[in-house]
Structure 1
Amino acid sequence: MPYILSMNTSNFDLNLLRVFDMLLREQNVSRAAQRLALTQPTVSNALARLRDMLGDPLLVRVGRRMCPTPRALALEGPIRAALQQIEQTLSTGDAFDPQRSHRQLRFALTDFVEQLCMPSLLASLQTQAPNLRIDVAHLSASFPAEALDRGELDMVLGRFDHVPARFSRQLWRSETLRVAVCQDHPRLSDGLDLQRFLQLRHVWVHGGQTRGMVDQWLAEQNLVRQIVYTTPNYLQAAHLVAATELCVVLPTLLAQQFARLLPLKLYELPFALPPFDLELVRLTHRQHDPALTWLEAQVLAIQPG
């Protein structure tokens, strides 16, 4: 933290760093105060003190947002890393009491994984850790390494092609794919083969990807399907298919859940694709955080069905 080290730090209030970190996350004084359980005047006063000590406005108002200055952006990563290191150092060796903990833990998930994992996890936390707060962010196609590094996320759960070596990976479950159509689809009375699959009109749940497993396999065979609608949302895709003559390829367990709730019929894919893995990932150097270790164990114990 070169800017801070050039100052006289003997009387520096380290609580100001927590305020700085939250202001950079929220870019809004009111929201930062709420997250810190402080009053808005207290946070405003802390920001004024930081501006005076560092000789920089740090955050400037642009419309309804407060945007960080270049100096604030330069400080953001080192300060957040330092706060994480302090937290981990103090918590190392301490027992984690889930019944008393008020920690806020942040996941990134797709809506597919959220549907499979979170109902069981929240039911468990209701009795084991009633005051623990879980915040979920949408998981995009690219692995959120920077968000994990900055402490904006504690864990991610999903399918990843590449994970940097500084992260630990735990297999949660392997999954396959099924084709879902409306229950009385007029073109599938005799079943589903590859030719009929290619003749159907498809919904594609893209999850931010440019090409999924199905289209990659088809391209390798010099084949293509007709995609007429794309969405990032599995639940929306299932409802669309139940009400039309479209079809969608879904993870098997999710497809089975939807088929119990909606007028859907499921088919095996008319070609062979290998299973794909869903993994729980977090920073290796946070392995000694007892709260994350405890929560990781709760997630890995979930067997969705």
Structure 2
Amino acid sequence: MHSINENDFSKIDLNLVIVLLVMFEVRSVTLAANRLYLGQPAVSAALKRLREMFGDALFVRTSQGMTPTPRAEQLVQQFTPLIQDLHRVIFTPKAFDAQHDSRTFRIGMSDWLEQWLMPDLLSELALTAPKIDIKVVAADPWQAIPLMEQQQADVVVTVGDEASRDLTREKIARAGFRTLWSAQQIAVKKLTLDAFVRHDHALVSYRGASESALDRELQQQGKARHVRYVTLHFSGLPLLLKQLPLFATVPQGLVDPWREHYDLQAAPVPVKMPDYELSLLWHNAQHDDPANRWLRDRLRGLLLTKAR
């Protein structure tokens, strides 16, 4: 494949090629002007420039009209498929067909969102988009912005409200927290504030902190809890709760599956906790991409359904 020399095209007007093709079809300056919504002088000027460009008369006036030269016939034969392809590229962007297209999407999210969302998303895709694969990229709320600015994911599902001029954040739904424990480890039927602070806690902190907004609320009430275990991941908590007398306060999306699979107890947090807001985050460069829009639609619908 030959490299393109941009300087070769600096003085070329694509409209001249259109004039050439129309002239070849109608064989008349007057008819070409009408077809192109131009004046006859403009078409005549375009023909002059075409003749200079190709060093050929291109069209000769005869009793049958403007008869093309062999060079004009050759040019029309070469230009026609090129212009048709160009028209298709400009005016018919490639659609995304989820049912038949093969594609791997990179979705950024933290581990609890993966546990909560991915089983349902993959089940849906198995039926409606069998050639679509998903790759999850680790993205806690602090990683989400730089991850998307570098376009290392197609979409991020996240919480928080950090912004970037390169990105679009769409807030989808709000949800809260619940506290979980094992009845075999902590004999509590109704979770009170006193019971809450009497036992140890496990805390998920993406930055390794030993306190959270929950602890600040406790302090305002003159209370404190003891955080015995801090981890970066939610996934290890259920088995930990089964074996140790610990409370864990987690996003409510995890509550039902953890109660079902691990026989855990759940109750509202006995202090006021701010809700978290679920968002989709994507790079502005992908805003109008049909495949990215399709993926965002799937995730938006899933979040709205799961957060109810």
Alignment match, 2:179:
179
Change (3 A) 1:94 1:212: farther
Cα separation, 2, equivalents of 1:263 and 1:225 = 24
Cα separation, 2, equivalents of 1:121 and 1:92 = 30
**TM-score, L = length of structure 2:** 0.65
Cα separation, 1, equivalents of 2:294 and 2:91 = 13
Q: Tell me the number of residue pairs that the alignment of Structure 1 and Structure 2 aligns.
A: 220
Cα separation, 1, equivalents of 2:90 and 2:101 = 15
Q: Select the structure of larger CA radius of gyration.
A: 2
Alignment match, 2:198:
199
Cα separation, 2, equivalents of 1:143 and 1:249 = 22
Unaligned stretches of 5+ residues in structure 1: 1-8, 12-88
Unaligned stretches of 5+ residues in structure 2: 6-88
8 Å CA contact 1:110–1:139 kept in 2: the answer is yes
8 Å CA contact 1:92–1:290 kept in 2: the answer is no
Deviations 1:200-244 (A, max 9, x none): 100111133634331232344454310111122222112111222
Matches within 5 A, 1:41-120: 93-120=93-120
8 Å CA contact 2:149–2:167 kept in 1: the answer is no
Matches within 5 A, 1:120-269: 120-189=120-189, 191-208=190-207, 210=209, 211-221=211-221, 223-269=223-269
Cα separation, 1, equivalents of 2:255 and 2:284 = 34
Percent identity, aligned pairs only?
23
Cα separation, 2, equivalents of 1:220 and 1:91 = 62
SS of structure 1 residue aligned to 2:235:
helix
Cα separation, 1, equivalents of 2:282 and 2:208 = 22
SS of structure 1 residue aligned to 2:306:
coil
Counterpart of 2:197 in structure 1: which amino acid?
L
Cα separation, 2, equivalents of 1:123 and 1:173 = 22
8 Å CA contact 1:198–1:225 kept in 2: the answer is yes
8 Å CA contact 1:91–1:290 kept in 2: the answer is no
Counterpart of 2:214 in structure 1: which amino acid?
V
Counterpart of 2:167 in structure 1: which amino acid?
F
Alignment match, 2:306:
304
SS of structure 2 residue aligned to 1:234:
coil
Cα separation, 1, equivalents of 2:197 and 2:154 = 41
Counterpart of 1:294 in structure 2: which amino acid?
W
Q: Which moved more, 1:278-287 or 1:140-149?
A: 140-149
Change (3 A) 1:225 1:161: farther
Query: What RMSD over aligned residues (CA atoms) do the two structures have, in Å?
Result: 2.6
